[in-house]
Structure 1
Amino acid sequence: MRLPSRPALHLSVVGLATGLLASVLLATPASAASPQAPGGFTGHGFDTCVAPDQATMDTWNLTSPFSAVGIYISGDSRFCGDAAQPNLSPAWVAQNARNGWRFLPIHVGRQAPCFVNNPASKVPKSVMSRSARTARQEARSEADQAVAALKRYGFGKHSVSYLDIEYYTRTASCDRIVLEFVDAWTERLHQKGYKSGLYGSGSAAIQAVDEARRTKRRGFTEPDQMWLAWGNGKANTNGGPYLSRQGWKRQRLHQYELDVRVSHGGASLLIDRNFLDVGKGSKAGKESTPCGTTQTFTRYSTLKVGSKGKQVKALECLLRRQGVLSSVDQHFGIGTARAVDAFRARLGLAPAGNANRVTWTALLSQGRNPVVLKQGSVGPSVYRLQRSLVAAGASLKVTGVYDGGTIRAVRAYRAARGLPQYPTVEASVWAELQRGQII
């Protein structure tokens, strides 16, 4: 998706970190997952003309901040149509979904009636009819194409398809047809059980649709999400002069940097950078309390025989889950001390008779590890990670959301353990935590 005069994208991948990648993926097999397009999420995404090969996707998954990828799946005006996509397939989508990627399925079809094609383009774009009635018929037909492609690639009901309307010089008559087209496209997707997204230049289609919302255009069905192309370099969803704050709250994407070459883990791509705040956003959900007590504390004290209280109960709960203690109370007795030493023996550590930061870090981090955690990740694994980092010595608030504070704590831990300075957590980080390695 491009603003006018932007060059087409070309893919270049160099220096893939295949050794690291292979060891990580073997250590943490992917579990089945339905592709999310894009689901509830707050964080970073990218789009590129040709879907990257699997090695690049895997490398970027482990080393980049991106969690969502834009893919061109439908529309006759795509520069990167099916014939130009050597990697994109239902199997590619399924594999990357298992690895935790989210998707932004893009449809590039008819453009505004006043759209001006680039004479040098290898794929001239068709335009909408200037007849409102015909334009609506065209929109419904294209929505049907988009739904067929969504189904082909494995995206279920309620997935979003993003209609790409490139920059055009706004006029009242041109806006009128664009709004009719967007309205009919959205209604058709809704009839089929899917959601409508609109991608466009902030000063063209996005602004036109926002004005229709603000003026309460009669009979107009708003898209579910708005994807604003505005290259101001700011990774947020502020629409500036183009998209007012009142509309599409938490249903926005911002393409804030265009046509930049970016390298992560030795793999280089020409991309657009995006920031998303969609669905319900990255929302952690309620923190679990096994054994009826929290496992989250601002610091984890050294516990020994005679210690009492909630931290003792949390410790004993963790020891029971590891199969080295049979009962849980709030009293650190001889049995608890023996259980601690039994757990430490698994780690190759000498008996201590007390639970210090090493013990806490190793206990709190135990569990099944996802392939990768990064900004926007949420849930039990993030809670587990954050608690472990606090026990290891990080200054961090436990929220269940992989946020900026978590990124800083992860980088500090990686630096302390001599690991590459990625903003993500994968098998190498978990291995250090589960061995009780502290800062």
Structure 2
Amino acid sequence: MLGDVAPRDRGLADAGRSIEVKEAGHVQLLRQVDNLFRLSHVPPSTTGLGGGGLAAGRGLGLLYGLAHHTISGETMRLAHLSTARARVGIAAVAVLAICATLLPMGAAAAAERRPDGFSGYAFDARCAPTQEQMDAWLTSSPFSGVGIYIGGSMASCRPTASDPGQPHLDATWVARQRAGGWRLLPIWAGPQAACHTLYGDLIDANPAGSYAAADARGRAEAAAAVARAQQLGLPASSTLWYDLEGGYDVTNDDCRRSALRFLSGWTSALHDLGYRSGVYSSVSAGIHALDNADNLSPGSYVMPDHVWYAWYNGRADVAIDPQWVRPSSWEGQRVHQYEAHTSATYGGVSLTIDRNFMEIDGGAQPPRSTRLCGRTRVDFRTYPRLKPGSRGVRTKTLQCVLRKNARYRGKLDGQFDRGVLKAVRTFQRRHDLRVTGRADAATWTALFAKGSTPMLKVGAAGQPALRLQRSLRAAGFRSVKPTGVVTDRTATAVRRLQQRLGLDATGVVTADTWSALQHGRR
């Protein structure tokens, strides 16, 4: 993610794998228990398991001894019995289960959903795009978020004799993107893991004072990032992301622990300064190390609020590989980089980007209510043509939508009477529809679409998204579910509609798409 010189962490192929145990039988089980405790990540101290004599550390020490006694003793006594391996397996599983029970969930647990939660696509590039590029992608690409490097010793977008860098990245640029609806992901790229071989600025791996030098450097980097963020007009409570590239050896204790202590200092300082913390890394390196530390030595390190993980499986979602990270960790607080260093063209503008999918602050939230007229049912798979004399639940739905959008003041009794006929004709006349007095597909489509016309992409949520989905379903796109959150399925239907009408088939709902729906074009 650090630009063209950065290693591209390939998830399961990453060099920073967990320790693999190859021995069979009781030796394998014993070493699995050894690894469980050795990967606890607690800085060493005179108490053995470290952490300043944490209660969790002492408990782990007792369980460690119990594990060795149980497994080794059981193996010695039952070495010649056919059931030996089964009993050893049961003992090991029991010990591991006790460990999991005694250790509470740490800061990486799922966060509460917030009203401003968001789900959707994001991209990042080596340099911040120009204003013209951002404008072109705003209305034609699926992306709602953009990662921008705001500084750090290892940020690759720097001015040189042949490359101007990103001189346009200033407070005005930031304000314009935010006003346009972009969600910014500001990234800071400073020192990398101490055992990394590709970078010049490395975290100090000196273990003195529980890696005090690494902690201090993390805090200093956070202070510098906040100063730059404030210069750019990024307000307090924004998330600042630290880019810790993968490709380093997480089994190297000093390298791993110093990186964890650095990130802990980064997060602590950001919180003190009123900002939120995010960490980018490979799922099998930095994020794996963070989750293991939070699981096996909770409280020893301050965990980031969000994680952004490189796992190039090509799937635009926020699923995470349980081989590396617990499924419950940072649930609703993730960004998944699923494709790297790819060329993309939208609105006639080409950029080389990484593709990401976000779910932040619990993800996009549907409207609290999807009702229009109390308990009157509104959502159906199809909307039939109705005419004077029609009766039933769908006629009552028509009355409801007319009351909401066409000044109908009659009863909601399910009867297509003169009052309904007048309201339908008036609506058709005002929206350039054929004035037939019948509620046909075009009339249903226009009725549901009436209202404000904001730009909508995947992840947009609220009443406008709900109106869009109902209008699309009335227009014949039956697979669209009226949830109030724009999904990939909704965007696909929008794209098909745009193709059918001769509009730019972007899947982004802009003013021209709204206009077509509000005039019953389908």
Task: Tell me the TM-score normalised to structure 1 length.
Answer: 0.84
Is 1:366 matched up with 2:445? no
Is 1:213 matched up with 2:289? no
Give distance in 2, aligned partners of 1:290 and 1:158. Answer: 35
Pairwise CA distance, 1:304? 2.3
Q: Structure 1: which amino acid aligns with 2:193?
A: A
Cα gap change, 1:79/1:4 in structure 2, threshold over 3 Å: closer, same or farther? closer
Pairwise CA distance, 1:392? 0.8
Pairwise CA distance, 1:316? 3.5
Q: Identity rate of aligned residues, in percent?
A: 39
More deviation, 344-353/174-183: 344-353
Give distance in 1, aligned partners of 2:355 and 2:365. Answer: 22
Give distance in 2, aligned partners of 1:204 and 1:290. Answer: 50
Alignment check: 8 A CA contact 1:93 1:153 kept:
yes
User: What runs of 5+ residues in structure 1 fail to find an aligned partner?
Assistant: 9-38, 119-123
Pairing of 1:245-264 with structure 2 (within 5 A)? 245-264=327-346
Pairwise CA distance, 1:250? 1.9
Q: Which residue of 2 aligns with 1:25?
A: none
Cα gap change, 1:327/1:193 in structure 2, threshold over 3 Å: closer, same or farther? farther
Q: Structure 1: which amino acid aligns with 2:279?
A: L
Residue from 148, 158, 163 that aligns with 2:237: 158
- Any idea what SS the aligned residue of 1:290 has? coil
Pairing of 1:339-418 with structure 2 (within 5 A)? 339-370=423-454, 372-395=455-478, 396-418=480-502
Alignment check: 8 A CA contact 2:128 2:166 kept:
yes
More deviation, 347-356/255-264: 347-356
Pairing of 1:13-412 with structure 2 (within 5 A)? 40-81=117-158, 84-117=165-198, 124-125=200-201, 127-128=203-204, 130=206, 131=208, 132-167=211-246, 168-170=248-250, 171-240=252-321, 241-292=323-374, 293-322=376-405, 324-330=407-413, 331-370=415-454, 372-395=455-478, 396-412=480-496
Q: Structure 2: which amino acid aligns with 1:216?
A: S
Q: Deviations over 1:390-414 (max 9, x none)?
A: 1111112211121132123222222
Alignment check: 8 A CA contact 2:240 2:278 kept:
yes
- Any idea what SS the aligned residue of 1:84 has? coil
Q: Deviations over 1:133-182 (max 9, x none)?
A: 12212211221222233333333333211111123333111111111111
Q: Structure 2: which amino acid aligns with 1:429?
A: T
More deviation, 82-91/359-368: 82-91
Give distance in 1, aligned partners of 2:412 and 2:319. Answer: 50
Pairwise CA distance, 1:218? 4.7
Is 1:431 matched up with 2:515? yes
Cα gap change, 1:6/1:137 in structure 2, threshold over 3 Å: closer, same or farther? closer
Give distance in 1, aligned partners of 2:223 and 2:176. Answer: 26
- Any idea what SS the aligned residue of 1:63 has? coil
Cα gap change, 1:4/1:175 in structure 2, threshold over 3 Å: closer, same or farther? farther
Alignment check: 8 A CA contact 1:258 1:272 kept:
yes
Alignment check: 8 A CA contact 1:287 1:400 kept:
no
Pairwise CA distance, 1:363? 1.3
Q: Structure 2: which amino acid aligns with 1:242?
A: W
User: What runs of 5+ residues in structure 2 fail to find an aligned partner?
Assistant: 9-115
Q: Structure 2: which amino acid aligns with 1:169?
A: D
Task: Tell me the TM-score normalised to structure 2 length.
Answer: 0.71
Pairwise CA distance, 1:291? 3.5
Q: Deviations over 1:359-380 (max 9, x none)?
A: 111111111111x212212111
More deviation, 396-405/147-156: 147-156
- Any idea what SS the aligned residue of 2:284 has? helix
Give distance in 2, aligned partners of 1:51 and 1:88. Answer: 7
Cα gap change, 1:128/1:164 in structure 2, threshold over 3 Å: closer, same or farther? farther
Give distance in 2, aligned partners of 1:397 and 1:153. Answer: 40
Cα gap change, 1:349/1:233 in structure 2, threshold over 3 Å: closer, same or farther? closer
Cα gap change, 1:381/1:349 in structure 2, threshold over 3 Å: closer, same or farther? closer
Pairwise CA distance, 1:229? 1.7
Give distance in 1, aligned partners of 2:282 and 2:270. Answer: 22
Larger Rg: 2
Alignment check: 8 A CA contact 1:383 1:399 kept:
yes
- Any idea what SS the aligned residue of 1:260 has? strand
RMSD: 2.6
Q: Structure 1: which amino acid aligns with 2:288?
A: Q
Alignment check: 8 A CA contact 1:324 1:342 kept:
no
Cα gap change, 1:250/1:349 in structure 2, threshold over 3 Å: closer, same or farther? closer
- Any idea what SS the aligned residue of 1:93 has? helix
Pairwise CA distance, 1:69? 0.6
Cα gap change, 1:52/1:337 in structure 2, threshold over 3 Å: closer, same or farther? same
